[in-house]
Amino acid sequence: MNRRSFFSAIAVPRDESGAMTYRTGGNGPRTSLLGYGCMRLPTVEGSSAREAGDAKKIDQEEVNRHVDYAIAHGINYFDTAPVYCQGRSEAVIGEALARHPREKWLIATKLSNMSQSLRSFEASKKMYEQSFKFLRTDHIDYYLLHTVGQGGPAGFDDRFVKNGILDFLVKEREAGRIRNLGFSYHGDETGFRHALSYHERYHWDFAQIQLSYVDWRHGTETAKYNHVNAEILYNLLDGLNIPISVMAPTLGGRLAKFNYAISRCLSPLDPDATPASWAFRFAGSMPRVFTVLSGMTDIKFIKENVKTFSPLRPLGAKEFAALERAAKAYLGEDTIPCNSCDYCMPCPYGLDIPGILGCWNEAVADGRLPDNTSDPDYPAQRRCFLVEYERAMPPLRRADHCIGCGRCSPHCPQSIDIPASIRRVDSLVEKLRRNGRV
Amino acid sequence: MVEVNRRGFLIGAGLTAAAAVAGDEKVMDGGLAATSRPGVPTREVPLVPPGSGSLAEFSKRCVGCQLCVQQCPNLVLRPSTSLRRFMQPEMGFDRGYCRPECTRCGEVCPAGAIRRMKAEKKRLVHVGRAVWHRDRCIAAQEGVNCNACLWHCPAEAIKLVPMDEANPKSAKVPVVDAEKCLGCGACEHLCPARPMPAMTVEGLKEHRVDAPKSDRDVTKAADTKN
């Protein structure tokens, strides 16, 4: 060891400090690269609030524990919205955060004025003001126009420009009640360019996009996705120096579960790395990204993810290439691109839409979708699928109760043709049932 | 041809608009809507399982042992409460319907009241016929785009037609081909109308059995849905 390497070794010990990585995202303090998403808060029954249904309460005690752990381990970015968890997310996270000094946390919430009755100036303003009450704060650090892109450019103007709410929000930013104004995006490139065209007039402090190693170059690959490559959105924002927050880095948990096709590409590089850590490192390696959101229903996920981000090890070229191969392998599978965000719910006819689509996706991820009767594993796969399906949902919430009304589809940020997908699952179940007894 | 006067048209248009607005009125994400099982209608002729030949024959042979009731995997069979057929099974579709691949009741019947048959043969047996109730159908009443009965009919006995022949965009409502209908109850069980389904099955006193088609036709019919 020469003198230089000795000193560099003791001076900067290769960032193995175990401290959270921080980035600068717009105005205000630096943000933790891992952000806590409040869409999948834990319930008393131990399931995520999205899985639980009306009767089950969010577990405030558990959320408090999550927040305590998160803040103690350097997470300072919390992302919620008025509509999350059936409208209870803001109040619950507000209560948990109020137990910590205000300078310890940054809060992001949204203007979720999607439905027609909430699009007026008064209704939108009321929603904005209510967020302050629920979150018990005098300023919102990050305020987002929620799910821009759905309804195209006309939908954007209708929801934010024509009613004057955006002008109002800009004034609120001048008054210091909003520290950063931005939007979250689900849609195609045209709608995105339209939203960016307002940059000169309103100045976006940040933007939130869906970014995973699958979305990066394959957002438009299949008709199912009907989207845009995250790379395009990233580069557009990068060109305008707009900081980026990332949602759905694991596609709503789909990339965090074991998947045979993906692990074949990734395990040889690092056998100990979890599937989720790959997805988080991909999103975190992008320099313009200031936080990567994760909805962590269980404290074990927070622990695991804190490890991934403390500090973040950026991906090398070899790893990028492997993730691109994994993305291709993943797309080669017949997955329904549902991220279980629950925006389609409640289905007026009582179906558990994400539950039904989840059964299909889990079978695909495990490589046990019973789609080939001549496969020697078919009888076992068939039995397994039917048992899992019947366990997952009570009879009145299963796919056969879909009437095909299509009210769900316009709410889907992934543009899934939901009735067609539900009927695909129904057809499979029907075929399996007719092929002998379970 | 359905006659639509000005008032009827306006009411219809109003209902459709109301339904469209209601569809967009989703303010919060998540949760599950309340569900309830469909009601069980009173049937003029009770439904007895395929393999029993006719209601009279069945009533004569059945000893009311409840084996079929206990074994029915689709929860269709239940003991009758009528005095004349007390404890003899009859069919109801509040918890499931008589599935095409299932022949369990015939396998367990010790009295020969329900005869054993293969699933291929069962597809040829008609035990009832579906009846549409316009006043309950959500497509006819609320203009909802619904095709539950069409999608699930294993006999392809249901077609959808526009309510107003002159207007192909009007709500589509079902018509039943009584010749093809088996009386399995899929439409009754899966109809979303509450409390009573808009499709109900009336029993046939004498069950009807189609002439067996060639093997190829039978397999084809079974595969069309898949």
CB contact under 8 A, B101 and A350: no
pLDDT tens readout for residues A360-409: 999 998 889 998 888 899 999 999 999 999 999 999 999 999 999 999 99
CB contact under 8 A, B192 and A117: no
Q: How many other C-beta atoms can be found within 10 angstroms of the C-beta atom of residue B220?
A: 11
Determine the Cα–Cα distance for residues A105 and B117; give it in Å rounded to an integer: 70
Is this complex scored with an ipTM above 0.90? no
DSSP string, B58-121: HHHH-----HHHHH-TTS-EEE--SSTTTT-EEE--SS----TT--HHHHH-SSSSS----HHH
Query: For residue B105, which phi and psi values (nearest 5 degrees)?
Result: -60, -40
Determine the Cα–Cα distance for residues A283 and A23; give it in Å rounded to an integer: 13
Nearest chain A residue (CA) to B151: A403
B-chain residues within 8 Å CB-CB of A405?
Answer: 23, 144-146
B-chain residues within 8 Å CB-CB of A114?
Answer: 26
Which pairing describes strands A244-247 and A34-37: parallel, antiparallel, or unpaired? unpaired
Q: Specify burial of residue A172 (Cβ count, 10 A radius: 0-12, 13-18, 19+).
A: middle
pLDDT at B29: 76
pLDDT tens readout for residues A21-47: 999 988 999 999 999 999 999 988 766
Q: Which of A9-18, A85-94, A324-333, B103-112 has the lowest mean pLDDT?
A: A9-18
CB contact under 8 A, A400 and B100: no
B interface with A, Cβ–Cβ below 8 Å: 21, 23-37, 95-96, 99-101, 138, 144-148, 151-152, 190, 192, 222, 225-226
Chain mean pLDDT for chain A: 90
pLDDT at A417: 92
Q: Specify burial of residue A101 (Cβ count, 10 A radius: 0-12, 13-18, 19+).
A: exposed
* pLDDT band (50, 70, 90) for residue A140: very high
Domains of chain A: 8-331 (3.20.20.100), 353-434 (no CATH)
**What is chain B's pLDDT, residue by residue, as a tens digit (226 residues)?**
344 455 545 444 444 443 333 444 566 777 888 899 999 999 999 999 999 999 999 999 999 999 999 999 999 999 999 988 999 999 999 999 999 999 999 999 999 999 999 999 999 999 999 999 999 999 999 999 999 999 999 999 999 999 988 988 889 999 999 999 999 999 999 999 999 999 999 999 999 999 887 655 555 554 444 3
Mean pLDDT of A91-108: 96
pLDDT at A342: 87
Determine the Cα–Cα distance for residues A327 and A338; give it in Å rounded to an integer: 16
pLDDT at B22: 41
pLDDT at B211: 87
Q: Are A199 and A239 in contact (CB under 8 A)?
A: no
pLDDT at B30: 79
B-chain residues within 8 Å CB-CB of A53?
Answer: 31-32
CB contact under 8 A, A50 and B35: no
Q: How far is B22 from chain A (nearest CA, A)?
A: 10
**In the predicted model, is pLDDT for residue A159 greater than 50?**
yes
Alpha helices in A197-295 (DSSP H): 199-202, 215-218, 230-239, 260-266, 275-284
CB contact under 8 A, A54 and B31: yes
What interhelical angle do A89-97 and A60-72 show, nearest 10?
Answer: 50
**Across the interface, which of A85, A115, A426 has its CB nearest the CB of B26?**
A115
DSSP string, B130-169: EEE-TTT-HHHHH-----HHHHH-TT--EEEEESSTT-TT
**In the predicted model, is pLDDT for residue A218 greater than 70?**
yes
Mean pLDDT of A89-117: 95
**Across the interface, which of A49, A400, A403 has its CB nearest the CB of B147?**
A403
Q: How far is A95 from chain B (nearest CA, A)?
A: 20
Closest to A245 (Cα-Cα) out of A202, A199, A315, A294: A294
Nearest chain A residue (CA) to B144: A405
Determine the Cα–Cα distance for residues B50 and B127; give it in Å rounded to an integer: 6
Q: What share of chain A is helix, strand, coil (3-state, %, to 5)?
A: 45, 10, 40
pLDDT at A43: 87
Residue tagged 């940020």 (tokens): A413
Closest to B172 (Cα-Cα) out of B148, B146, B205, B202: B146
- Could you tell me which residue, A6 or A3, shows the higher pLDDT? A3
Using DSSP, how many helices (H) and how many strands (E) does chain A show? 19, 10
- Could you tell me which residue, B34 or A65, shows the higher pLDDT? A65
Residue A111's H or E segment, with its range, is strand A106-111
Number of cross-chain residue pairs from A and B with Cβ atoms under 8 Å apart: 104
B-chain residues within 8 Å CB-CB of A347?
Answer: 32-33
Determine the Cα–Cα distance for residues A387 and A432; give it in Å rounded to an integer: 11
Amino acid at A429: V
**In the predicted model, is pLDDT for residue A299 greater than 80?**
yes
pLDDT at A402: 96
Q: Specify burial of residue A7 (Cβ count, 10 A radius: 0-12, 13-18, 19+).
A: exposed
CB contact under 8 A, A53 and B34: no
CB contact under 8 A, A346 and B190: no
pLDDT tens readout for residues A188-205: 899 999 999 999 999 999
pLDDT at B226: 39
pLDDT at B12: 45
